[in-house]
């Protein structure tokens, strides 16, 4: 199994020591002393350097451009500027505009490339403020690869093209390391975005650069390229919260790849076919005010609607197994999914109910852990970004240890070779699912505060190399299926410090 054991996110830990300083990144801890000219290709340094301090909470919404002509042709674009949006791409941009129509953005940053700028213009609509273009937001520079059809790149460059596919972080072409350069550019973009006098920011750019923006924000290095997917017009949301003592802000990935179309509709993961998939479904909202006070609640009417919406989103998938926490709300959500799955093949005269295996897993339960966490953490569980940052160390350690046992069991479930394709749905509490995402990314418990999940949300983890291979995150905290029953992608920033 792929193994990567990063240290604490660098925006939470920095030690200066005269001219040298400790760099803590997602793949290495090392002492680095570099002259300015040596920093250009030091992707780990740029991905981990501290962010500018901010005075007020800031939300940044990232959007990838819609389908382009070169996307449709299967041509390698890179930072070339010769493709434009297709009709489908224009429609995708319009869908994203509708998704974000009620949001009060202060500023829009865009890549200068035509396909991205046109997407930004569609989403920005009739807003009076001018779109700010930033060349650092252009797509990854791929030099001699650019303009080639994918099979041409394979035929012309052979081993180099293979390295681009399997080891992109160390891929070298024309004397350049494109992914390392991209991480450095993304880090520079954050300096400008966070220094801008705004509370709510829209950024419209590209697949690779948006991956780099997400990764550098939460302290992940170049090894995470192609692990955090960005679909055409996919929306990702990052929350930045100032520290009382100043310095680099707290950072939380609120959403990843909220797409105009269903996140489970395609059978590929970033262009690679996947036959193994874990889908994390958070239970719907609860009847009581906090789970710690009422540790085994059922869902309220809103929660029941949310669970049904989640079940309907999964209708076209053939789910093999549903694994649920034993808690009432989780099992009720699991049963809703099971009923829809079993009825999915009964739309005609010849009804043969689809069999779906149901299991309860004690290691998915977090009720006792929530009960031992502090009151402030429990009040924040359902809605506030980065709520796990408020948990006491003892509770976080208990959550991490239990989720680790659950993750091993789930991978064993996924590795069953008796089925050519395997889809396992996991129903649990947002805190448990955040921990499972962190395990999938081979992080440590210190990263759990960098993610957020809402009630009724869905997160999709793909395993294109099988259950023993590296997990790829297709989406985190997807809620578009909930419609009016969801928490909005962004919220008004007026008088709302924590959004």
Among residues 263, 243, 244, 240, the alpha carbon closest in space to that of 253 is found at 240
The SS3 call for residue 341 is: helix
Among residues 432, 436, 408, 484, the alpha carbon closest in space to that of 283 is found at 432
Are 113 and 79 contacting, i.e. CB atoms less than 8 angstroms apart? yes
Catalytic center residues: 65, 139
User: The tokens of 122 are what?
Assistant: 């569609």
* DSSP letter (8 states) at residue 199: S
Among residues 211, 204, 238, the alpha carbon closest in space to that of 127 is found at 204
What are the counts of helices (DSSP H) followed by strands (DSSP E) for the chain?
14, 17
How far apart are alpha carbons 98 and 92 in whole angstroms?
10
Q: Provide the 10 A C-beta neighbour count for residue 419.
A: 13
Among residues 476, 467, 474, 475, the alpha carbon closest in space to that of 2 is found at 467
Helix 114-124 × helix 87-99 angle, to 10°: 40
Distances 138 to 40, 123, 271, 322 between C-alpha atoms, Å: 17, 18, 21, 42
The SS3 call for residue 472 is: strand
Helix 159-166 × helix 150-157 angle, to 10°: 120
The SS3 call for residue 278 is: strand
């Amino acid at each position: 199994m792929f193994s990567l054991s990063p240290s604490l996110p660098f925006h939470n830990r920095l030690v200066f020591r005269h001219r040298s300083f400790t760099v803590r990144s997602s793949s290495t801890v090392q002492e680095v002393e570099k002259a300015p000219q040596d920093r250009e290709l030091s992707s780990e340094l740029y991905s981990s350097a501290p962010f500018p301090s901010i005075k007020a909470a800031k939300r940044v919404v990232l959007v990838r451009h819609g389908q382009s002509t070169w996307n449709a042709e299967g041509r390698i674009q890179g930072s070339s500027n010769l493709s434009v949006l297709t009709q489908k791409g224009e429609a995708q941009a319009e869908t994203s505009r509708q998704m974000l129509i009620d949001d009060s953005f202060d500023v829009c940053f865009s890549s200068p490339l035509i396909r991205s700028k046109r997407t930004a213009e569609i989403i920005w609509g009739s807003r009076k403020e001018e779109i700010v273009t930033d060349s650092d937001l252009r797509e990854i520079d791929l030099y001699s690869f650019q303009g080639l059809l994918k099979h041409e790149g394979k035929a012309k460059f052979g081993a180099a093209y293979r390295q681009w596919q399997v080891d992109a972080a160390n891929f070298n072409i024309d004397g350049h390391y494109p992914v390392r350069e991209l991480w450095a550019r993304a880090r520079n973009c954050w300096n400008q975005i966070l220094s801008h006098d705004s509370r709510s920011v829209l950024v419209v750019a590209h697949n690779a650069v948006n991956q780099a923006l997400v990764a550098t924000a939460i302290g992940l290095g170049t090894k995470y390229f192609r692990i955090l997917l960005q679909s055409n017009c996919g929306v990702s949301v990052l929350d930045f919260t100032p520290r009382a003592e100043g310095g680099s802000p707290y950072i939380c990935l609120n959403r990843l790849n909220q797409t105009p179309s269903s996140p489970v509709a395609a059978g590929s993961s970033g262009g690679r076919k996947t036959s193994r998939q874990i889908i994390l479904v958070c239970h719907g909202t609860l009847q009581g005010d906090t789970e710690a006070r009422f540790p085994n609640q059922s869902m309220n009417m809103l929660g029941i609607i949310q669970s049904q919406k989640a079940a309907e989103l999964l209708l076209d998938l053939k789910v093999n197994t549903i694994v649920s926490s034993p808690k009432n709300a989780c099992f009720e959500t699991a049963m809703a999914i099971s009923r829809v799955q079993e009825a999915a093949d009964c739309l005609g005269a010849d009804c043969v109910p689809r069999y779906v295996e149901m299991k309860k897993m004690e290691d998915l339960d977090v009720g006792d852990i929530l009960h031992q966490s502090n009151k402030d953490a429990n009040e924040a569980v359902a809605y506030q970004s980065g709520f796990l940052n408020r948990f006491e160390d003892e509770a976080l350690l208990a959550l991490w240890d239990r989720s680790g046992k659950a993750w091993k069991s789930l991978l064993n479930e996924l590795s069953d070779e008796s089925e050519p394709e395997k889809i396992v749905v996991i129903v649990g509490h947002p805190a448990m699912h955040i921990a499972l995402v962190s395990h999938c990314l081979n992080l440590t418990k210190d990263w759990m505060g960098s993610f957020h999940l809402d009630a009724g949300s869905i997160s999709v983890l793909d395993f294109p190399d099988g259950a023993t291979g590296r997990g790829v995150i297709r989406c985190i905290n997807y809620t578009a299926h909930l419609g009016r029953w969801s928490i909005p992608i962004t919220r008004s920033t007026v008088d709302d410090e924590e959004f």
